[in-house]
Structure 1
Amino acid sequence: MRRFVSWNVNGLRAVEKKGFVEIIAGLNADLVALQEIKALPEQLPESVKNIPGYTAYWFSAQKKGYAGVATYSKEQPLSVIYGIDHKDHDYEGRVLTLEFGDFFFVNAYFPNSQHGLLRMNYKLQFNRDLLAFANTLAAKKSVVICGDFNVAHKEIDLTNPKQNEKNPGYAPEERAWMDQFLGAGFVDTFRMFNQEPGQYTWWSYRFNARARNIGWRIDYFCVDQKSKNRVAEAAILNDIMGSDHCPILLGFR
């Protein structure tokens, strides 16, 4: 069984100072997907760029200190796809895909719709284009999509749903797209195993939110429908600190 981890690190240079390399070594994952790295590879220390046993692939945003994704892999991929071949999105460094013999591994950092929902139209366009890209891949072989989707799908996925109904990450348009995404044949793997409330992956730095578990589940591992039987486990690793998000885990046969 392969072991996959996804983690929005909210700044790779910041989390490096909080034991990042040791955390990754301890997780012993076959693939590690990072979002919001906020760095170019040349800005990172060698210890982060060359973690023993892994090859790192980088897709940074053109804007410095913003967005960006990276994937560490123990296995050599057949190919690496940078972006989704879309000029409106790819300069923000949001999607990095590694192809292996029997699956694609898509590391995605979805846009935040922002305060006042100012980027909602852009986010929804990104979501549509990402789904079209994923469907193209799924026609060929299994697809694993992971990352920070920047949306809590259902009331169970955040502490205060009523107060957040018009806020970024829980606006009706964002939740409706998540319905469409799952309706198109993708599976939220965590909910295959866990139907309990209070399971979150992101907590505000304010109001002591993490200690009080006032959070949101906005990070996901999803697979295409035909690959559902390949999912062995899915979990939230909420004991791992270093970011305002915690890592999530997928076991994939």
Structure 2
Amino acid sequence: MKLISWNIDSLNAALTSDSSRAQLSRAVLDTLVEEDADIIAIQETKLSAKGPTKKHLDILTDYFPNYEVTWRSSVEPARKGYAGTMFLYKKELQPKITFPKIDAPSTMDDEGRIITLEFDNCFITQVYTPNAGDGLKRLSERQVWDQKYADYLAELDKIKPVLATGDYNVAHHEIDLANPSSNRQSPGFTDEERQGFTNLLSKGFVDTFRHLHGNLLHQYTWWAQRSKTSKINNTGWRIDYWLVSQRLADLVSKSDMISSGTRQDHTPIVLEINLEPLS
């Protein structure tokens, strides 16, 4: 099975805008079409509470005619047009879909951050983890989220194996960002967030990229848009992950980044895994 995850940073902009950035985003979509994945997870859709419009769905159908679409948007009292997630999955898969709430603080449960697909032999779930925010103003809430989310995955794992993906908004180790020393108190690299990710893995999950590539490979999934040279200079962060239950780790054959060309922000990540032993 091939699975892809991508923080798109506004589905509407990617599909309907004429900006140069939107054109780069559509080039990434063209690449995803060529990849022909079984499942595509998309974060930060930034759609309205009603979800994608007919125009959005028509365009998505043009790109991915053999896929079903499910989504979760931010709803009141959370901010409008904020966060949000979406799955595209091949029509023959027919998963059971849930939109879990994890008793997260503030409005986090209403921000459309988690969708879970249940199959006979596994769960496939995606997350758009809350950012600690400028000035770390949301760090304490983020710490609660991290614990609640880890508990949620652990509960799924008690039932059947889990494949979890998304934008986790944390670079786990120094190797996971280009400039660790100057980012000690930056959102996504605080001791608290890194420990939260360590705690998640300790509940029985594996970072598949490190499992396959070890601790020598410096590769990233995100480059800041605010810096025009971040991608040219490869001053990136690895904050997007494919995690699996420990008992699935040796079934993973690929966990890598997919090139997004010159487009800054997130790049897609791909996982290939043989789930036949679970049948």
- Taking structure 1 as the reference length, the TM-score comes to 0.93
Instruction: Report whether the alignment pairs 1:168 with 2:187.
Output: yes
Maintained 8 Å contact 1:59/1:68: yes
Counterparts of 1:130 and 1:44, CA distance in 2? 33
- Per the TM alignment, residue 243 of structure 1 is displaced from its structure 2 partner at its CA by 5.5
Is residue 42 of structure 1 aligned with residue 53 of structure 2? Answer: yes
Task: Kindly indicate whether residue 173 of structure 2 is the aligned counterpart of residue 154 of structure 1.
Answer: yes
Equivalents in 2 of 1:184, 1:200: separation in Å? 25
Aligned equivalents of 2:125, 2:173: Cα separation in 1: 23
Matched residues in 1 for 2:36 and 2:263: separation?
Answer: 18
What is the aligned partner in structure 2 of residue 79 from structure 1? 96
How many Å separate the matches in 1 of 2:218 and 2:234? 7
2:84 corresponding residue in structure 1: 68
Task: Quote the Cα distance in structure 2 between the aligned partners of 1:188 and 1:215.
Answer: 18
SS at match of 1:45: helix
Q: Give CA deviations for 1:174-196 in whole Å, capped at 9, x if unaligned.
A: 01111111112110000112233
Q: How does 1:91-240 map to 2 (within 5 A)?
A: 91-194=110-213, 195-205=215-225, 206-240=227-261
Instruction: Give a deviation string over 1:95-149, Cα, whole Å, max 9, x none.
Output: 0000111110111000000111110111111111111111111111110010000
| 1:13 aligned counterpart, secondary structure | helix
For 1:240 and 1:146, how far apart are their aligned partners in 2?
A: 22
Q: Distance in 2 between matches of 1:128 and 1:119?
A: 15
Distance 1:44 1:183 in 2: 43
Change beyond 3 A, Cα 1:211–1:41: same
Residue 48 of structure 1, CA deviation: 3.8
Is it true that 1:53 corresponds to 2:66 in the alignment?
yes
The 1:181–1:87 alpha-carbon spacing in structure 2 relative to 1, beyond 3 Å, is closer
The AA in structure 1 aligned to 2:169 is: N
Residue in 2 that maps onto 1:25: 33
2:102–2:149 contact (8 Å) kept in structure 1: no
CA contact 1:3–1:29 (8 Å) conserved in 2: yes
Relative to structure 1, is the Cα distance of residues 8 and 197 closer, same or farther in structure 2, using a 3 angstrom cutoff?
same
Cα pair distance change 1:30/1:119, threshold 3 Å: same
Report if aligned partners of 1:104, 1:143 keep a CA contact under 8 Å in 2.
yes
Greater CA drift, 87-96 or 220-229 = 87-96
Which SS does the other structure have where 1:139 is aligned? helix
Taking structure 2 as the reference length, what is the TM-score of the superposition? 0.85
Q: Which moved more, 1:80-89 or 1:154-163?
A: 80-89
Aligned equivalents of 1:167, 1:87: Cα separation in 2: 22
What is the letter of the counterpart of residue 202 of structure 1?
Answer: W
Which sections of structure 1, spanning at least 5 residues, go unmatched? none
Using the alignment, how far apart are the partners of 1:71 and 1:170 within structure 2? 28
CA distance in 1, matches of 2:205, 2:113: 19
In structure 2, C-alpha distance between the alignment counterparts of 1:252 and 1:190, rounded to whole Å:
12
Greater fraction helix: 2
Gapped runs of 5+ residues in structure 2? Answer: 16-21, 275-279
Q: 1:198 to 1:125 in 2, by over 3 A?
A: same
Whose Rg is larger? 2
Residue 41 of structure 1 aligns to a residue whose secondary structure is coil
CA contact (8 A) 2:6 2:269 kept: yes
User: Does the aligned pair in 2 maintain the 1:21–1:48 contact within 8 Å?
Assistant: no
